[in-house]
């Protein structure tokens, strides 16, 4: 009995020592479970981390991984290069240049994006993409015979260039060779505060404006001539308000009673006088199939007349 107890005790002690050795060997391994990185926010553009082509503090970097054994879980994919976020970074650059009245150098743009600490090849690649962007205008340095990727300045290229006040708007409308208007949305691309100026020009009868029915916002602007506007006498307005205009139902009858020929006949009377065409019902024809059982025709004959 004692020998059996001794064997069980020795087996238990050996298993405990093996478990302790495994725990001791993994004690130096540091395991951490970090929460996922926060989603990018446009509002954090001013707090930028150095060495990144982004004005945001929470860049698209992979979050800390939690590993247990051989399984590794990542909350976000790894950032493989600057080309992955080149579209978003260019949008930040365009938005920043839109608010500047003077052209900016590439160093200023890269400084706003906190990208001056990145590799020179990555900065050069971003500057080349800026020069190709349709909303960014590159102004070469006139003092240099050969331009480099650092030379020149950059400015925002609006959809309607050169229009930032009322005088420039009227001049742009006068230079148009067709009768089309200009979109207020395109006008706001280079002149965000154009709504108040358009309202003032409309009151002065210098522009014609189409506004949205929902909120009254200006949508399209045309050129107007103030000399063609004539103020109506208030007394004439009162007299016109007293005039009884016949309704659409009896306007033709009123004209005929006054021995006036109407410009067009009453379509309702014409429809009432027109004879109604009777719709003929189409007769459905029965389709008879081709008889194939010719050898059984003598069996299919009708013998009902032979009944008593």
Residue 241 phi/psi, 5° resolution? Answer: -70, -25
pLDDT at 8: 74
Judge whether 14 lies within some domain: no
C-alpha 110/C-alpha 90 separation (Å) is: 11
Tokens, residue 189: 């691309």
Residue-range definition of the domain harbouring residue 208: 166-228
Which of 131, 156, 181 is at the close of a domain? 156
Give the position of tokens 């005929």. Answer: 256
Q: What is the crossing angle of helices 194-203 and 166-175, to 10°?
A: 70
Judge whether 259 lies within some domain: no
**The model's pTM:** 0.48
Judge whether 24 lies within some domain: no
Helices (H) and strands (E) in the chain, counts: 10, 8
* Cα 300 from chain centre: 75
CATH code assigned at 205: 1.10.10
Number of domains in the chain: 2
pLDDT at 19: 63
C-alpha 223/C-alpha 205 separation (Å) is: 9
Which residues, 6+ apart, have CB-to-CB distance to 287 below 8 Å? none
Which of 228, 252, 272 is at the close of a domain? 228
Judge whether 25 lies within some domain: no
C-alpha 7/C-alpha 14 separation (Å) is: 11
191 shares a domain with 111 = no
Which of 212, 228, 244 is at the close of a domain? 228
Nearest to 206 by CA among 191, 221, 187, 186: 221
Judge whether 51 lies within some domain: yes
103 shares a domain with 139 = yes
pLDDT at 67: 39
Q: List the chain pLDDT tens, one digit each, 308 residues.
A: 556 777 777 777 777 666 666 555 544 444 443 444 444 444 444 344 434 455 544 444 444 344 334 454 455 445 444 444 667 788 899 989 988 888 999 999 999 988 888 888 888 999 999 999 999 999 999 999 899 998 999 999 898 988 989 999 999 999 988 888 899 999 988 888 899 999 999 999 999 999 998 888 999 999 998 888 888 999 999 999 898 877 777 887 888 888 887 776 666 666 777 777 777 777 777 666 666 677 777 777 777 777 77
Tokens, residue 233: 């006498």
C-alpha torsion 58→39→46→184, nearest 10: 150
H or E stretch covering 68: strand 66-68
C-alpha 98/C-alpha 158 separation (Å) is: 8
H or E stretch covering 97: helix 86-98
Q: Three-state SS across 207-236?
A: EEEEECCCCCCEEEEEECCHHHCCCCCHHH
210 shares a domain with 170 = yes
Judge whether 66 lies within some domain: yes
């Amino acid at each position: 009995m004692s020998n059996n107890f001794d064997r069980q005790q020795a087996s238990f002690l050996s298993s405990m020592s093996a478990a302790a050795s495994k725990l001791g060997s993994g004690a130096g391994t540091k395991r951490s479970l970090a929460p996922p990185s926060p989603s990018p926010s446009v509002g954090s553009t001013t707090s930028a981390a150095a060495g990144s082509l982004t004005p945001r503090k929470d860049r698209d970097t992979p979050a800390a991984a939690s590993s247990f054994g051989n399984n590794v879980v990542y909350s976000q994919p790894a950032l493989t290069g600057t080309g992955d976020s080149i579209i978003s970074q260019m949008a930040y650059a365009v938005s920043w240049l839109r608010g500047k009245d003077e052209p900016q150098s590439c160093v200023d743009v890269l400084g706003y994006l906190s990208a001056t600490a990145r590799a020179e090849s990555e900065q050069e690649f971003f500057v080349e993409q800026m020069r190709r962007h349709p909303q960014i205008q590159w102004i070469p340095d006139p003092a240099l015979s050969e331009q480099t990727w650092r030379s020149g300045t950059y400015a925002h290229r609006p959809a309607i260039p050169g229009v930032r006040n009322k005088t420039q708007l009227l001049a742009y409308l006068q230079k148009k060779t067709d009768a089309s208007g200009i979109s207020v949305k395109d006008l706001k691309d280079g002149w965000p505060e154009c709504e108040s100026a358009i309202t003032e020009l409309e009151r002065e009868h210098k522009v014609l404006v189409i506004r949205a029915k929902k909120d009254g916002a200006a949508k399209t602007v045309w050129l107007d001539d103030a000399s063609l506007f004539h103020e109506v006498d208030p007394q004439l307005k009162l007299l016109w308000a007293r005039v009884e205009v016949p309704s659409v139902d009896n306007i033709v009858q009123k004209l005929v009673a006054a021995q006036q020929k109407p410009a067009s006949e009453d379509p309702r009377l014409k429809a009432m006088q027109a004879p109604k065409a009777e719709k003929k019902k189409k007769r459905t024809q029965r389709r008879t199939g081709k008889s194939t059982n010719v050898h059984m025709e003598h069996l299919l004959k009708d013998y009902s007349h032979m009944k008593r």
